[in-house]
């Protein structure tokens, strides 16, 4: 999550989803900040979403990712907000903090089997949305139509 884009249309979608899903129990968000954020900025984002933030630590190229996501293990339902997307295969290097990797997402869901896990993915390429979403879901049988 990059605060330079705070309040954009994607944030409004996140806020709406959290409001709609609130009847299924308490939610928290892990913003997956990739740059230093002060307490006032983090609080403003939390207030906007209407849920507490699990952590405000910076996800960078040298952090222990398993430790970074450990704060999520005690959450009920959880919104993960990577800069870019879910990435099926883990990578290293400067772009790694932009993603949550599929194994991390699966691990977080497995640790909290009675809870919902939601992540925001802004990566589908126009004209290839259906193919890319099917690939990430791992099943060509699921009919997902973006925008519907």
Q: Is 91 within a domain?
A: yes
pLDDT (0 to 100) of residue 84: 87
Dist CA 72 CA 132 (whole Å)? 27
pLDDT 10s digits, 69-117: 999 999 999 999 998 888 888 999 999 999 999 899 999 999 999 999 9
Q: Is 82 within a domain?
A: yes
**Containing structural domain, residue 76:** 3-123
For residue 142, the SS3 value is: coil
Q: What DSSP assignment string belongs to 93-129?
A: STTGGGEEEHHHHHHHHHHSTTS-EEE----PPTT-H
pLDDT (0 to 100) of residue 124: 62
Q: Is 97 within a domain?
A: yes
pLDDT 10s digits, 26-66: 999 999 999 999 999 999 999 999 999 999 999 999 999 99
For residue 133, the SS3 value is: helix
CATH number assigned to the domain comprising residue 74: 3.40.1010
Q: Is 84 within a domain?
A: yes
Q: Is 26 within a domain?
A: yes
The enclosing H or E element of 78 equals: strand 77-80
Q: Is 129 within a domain?
A: no
Number of structural domains the chain divides into: 1
Of 133 and 146, the structure prediction assigns the larger pLDDT to: 133
Q: Are 76 and 26 in contact (CB under 8 A)?
A: yes
pLDDT 10s digits, 107-141: 999 999 999 999 877 766 667 767 767 776 664 33
pTM, to two decimals: 0.79
Q: Is 135 within a domain?
A: no
Q: Residue 143 pLDDT > 60, yes or no? A: no
């Amino acid at each position: 999550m990059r605060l330079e884009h705070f309040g954009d249309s994607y944030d409004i979608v996140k806020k709406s989803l959290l409001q709609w899903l609130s009847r299924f129990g308490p939610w928290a968000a892990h913003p997956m900040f990739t740059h230093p954020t002060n307490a006032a900025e983090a609080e403003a984002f939390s207030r906007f979403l209407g849920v507490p933030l699990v952590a405000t630590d910076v996800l960078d190229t040298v952090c222990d990712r398993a430790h970074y996501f450990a704060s999520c293990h005690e959450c009920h339902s959880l919104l993960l907000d990577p800069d870019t997307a879910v990435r099926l295969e883990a990578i290293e290097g400067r772009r790694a903090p932009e993603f949550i990797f599929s194994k991390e997402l699966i691990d977080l869901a497995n640790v909290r089997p009675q809870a919902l896990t939601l992540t925001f993915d802004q990566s589908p390429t126009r004209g290839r949305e259906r193919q890319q979403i099917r690939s990430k879901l791992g099943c060509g049988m699921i009919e997902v139509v973006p925008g519907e």
